Amino acid sequence: MKFNSVKAGKYEIKESMSLFELVRALKNGRQTPVKLVITKLRLKEDFARKLGQQFEFDSLAAIRFLNNNDSLKTFGLDSNTVMAAVMPDTYSFFWNSTPQKVYQKLFEHWLQYWNEERKKEAEAIQLTPVQVSILASIVDEEVNIKSEKQKIASVYINRLHKKMNMQSCPTIKFALKDFGLKRIYEKHLTVQSPYNTYINEGLPPGPVCTPQPETIDIVLNAPQTDYLYFVANSDFSGTHIYSTNYADHLKFAKKFAEAQDRQDSIRKANH
């Protein structure tokens, strides 16, 4: 078979393979594809670690690429917005693909998703595709219930249009890199970060997680409401109470804070 050198790659050697089949696979460089499954990722470092575990290149090469604005310029993105184009899905690659090639495929998938219809819907709510992805990531971190996502998206769009601060708790968790925070206190709201939407106007510079495609569509088709405020329901059902004015919002927020205090007291007593 004139076989004298192996083409670098990842090859699955099956128990039933004959020597002839093995040599032919190595000679032809018939690699076994790597399946990259992306679900929810929050940090670039998490993404880089995942890539480093599955490809020939390591996580350091991955994070260097994700932080390199010169490399990302070709995609029209930067080190803050880079994760906006990483959509949850299953992708197939060769093991010895470079970080650039891996990201190129993810980016092409993102571009396909952003068809003309979705671009027009984004324009109608005065946001770019990247901004929609950022907003969808915040909505995803707020709640899992679809009907709640729709209303929360409408609140944030209303706030953005009125030039109000978004005041989003998920952005505080992201700024602090503390995703286990069960409760946001006043001391957390002063963190100096461009992701702190309590002190900075508008959207944060990048997504706080990889947004679900379904949530992007929810943002694009958010119902038109007059709501400007929301707070979690004091029954901890995962639903929220929505308000059009600050006075009403404060009443509901106080009720929820009292419910949280009671819950904290019970937890301490049990420990």
Query: Helix/strand/coil (H, E, C) string of 77-97?
Result: CCCCCHHHHCCCEEEEECCCC
Mean per-residue pLDDT of the chain? 93
If you average pLDDT over residues 138-143, what whole number do you get? Answer: 94
- Which pLDDT does position 8 carry in this prediction? 82
Q: What does the pLDDT read at residue 130?
A: 97
Q: What confidence score (pLDDT) does residue 52 get?
A: 96
- Mean pLDDT computed over 118-135: 97
Distance CA 211, CA 152 (A): 15
Helix (H) or strand (E) holding 25: helix 19-28
More confident residue, 234 or 156: 156
pLDDT band at 156 (very low <50, low <70, confident <90, very high): very high
- Per-residue model confidence (pLDDT) at position 162: 95
For residues 254 and 252, what is the distance between their CA atoms, to the nearest angstrom? 5
Question: DSSP assignment of 82-138, as one string?
Answer: GGGG--SEEEEE-TT--HHHHHHHHHHHHHHHS-HHHHHHHHHTT--HHHHHHHHHH
Indicate the SS3 state at residue 169: helix
Structure tokens at 68: 């390199």
Distance CA 217, CA 115 (A): 12
State the Cα–Cα distance between residues 254 and 261, nearest whole angstrom: 10
Q: What is the mean pLDDT of residues 34-45?
A: 95
Residue 243 pairs in a beta bridge with 229
Q: Distance (Å, rounded) from C-alpha 229 to C-alpha 223?
A: 15
**pLDDT at residue 11, rounded to an integer:** 87
Stretch 55-68: mean pLDDT, rounded? 96
Half-sphere exposure of 127 (CA within 13 A, CB side): 27
Measured CA to CA, the distance from residue 44 to residue 81 in angstroms comes to 10
Rounded CA-CA distance 89/111 in Å is 14
pLDDT greater than 80 at residue 22: yes
What is the average pLDDT across 61-82?
A: 96
Is the model's pTM score more than 0.85? yes
133: pLDDT strictly greater than 80: yes
pLDDT over 80 at 267, yes or no: no
pLDDT surpasses 90 at 198 = yes
